[in-house]
Structure 1
């Protein structure tokens, strides 16, 4: 069985079994920054800054500005509490995304740069206050693009909330969704319809 990251004999002496989501986010941000890896948090963490009503989450979504060929570098830069092994490494190298876990607690979802849009999204990331620190998050517009592409029910609820709050550049979001899936794609058509209804 492949050894998982965090299985070093010293790790049990220096890690806490339970940490808060806030502590985990700050730790991950610090670790990636110290290793020079450009990144931005997405998901509900970013969403909270762009809507009138935030929602709770137990997931940590992170977009990293590295291609699939640099997955190992990203994994090795994470805090030792984030568990991974050869299986997760292989999944990330093939799919460009992977679900890891902070010990036995929250999910840590990594998304790698597989399209030119990812570079654009990182260039537009915003630095926001977070507890006693500051973290980079995706812009509302780019978060909308990602959510439209995923297209889950909760994603559309989140998109509507951002549109209602007026934090999204709708035309820019539509432009990128069109480039990613085409104007005949369901994600584009649904975003166009939602934007018309909300606006």
Structure 2
């Protein structure tokens, strides 16, 4: 991770608000936000809205004097913006809230954010532009793919692999050694005891949904 200095966030919605608080808590100065839906000069959480950011080279100081971060909750858009930042030569850090517990042996890639109260255990890998949300638990030897979101309070037991661009809902529990495929969706409160194929959707319900092992 770059030494904390000045950071511009792409996005100005609810997720960006939380990311800005993570960054500030970790010692970053928020130079401003870039968001298509907002006009230049407005304020968002005590930092200016600098413009729409559609052309990252429009203002050379954006890239020269700041790190940039994709602070967008929607996974497909977040990944697209992360790729755009990389292509423009931006410095993209990872962000970790000071209250998160992260093993020294864990690996966190550029563009990932670890929110307040989250736990990342030994030898786990958090992929680029992934989100480990508030209070989520990622146990030992887990691998979280690029652009994936682990929602608040989710629990991933040891050696769980979650593919790129997947979503694990709030309060979901994934038992050890499960594989969740690329682009899969696991609903809130779900308990998963069997592998989930690429692109599969396990919807949330009022009661926890148990995915059974085959006979």
Do they superpose with TM above 0.5?
no
State the TM-score, normalized to the length of structure 1.
0.26
State the TM-score, normalized to the length of structure 2.
0.25
The structure where helix makes up a greater share of residues is 1
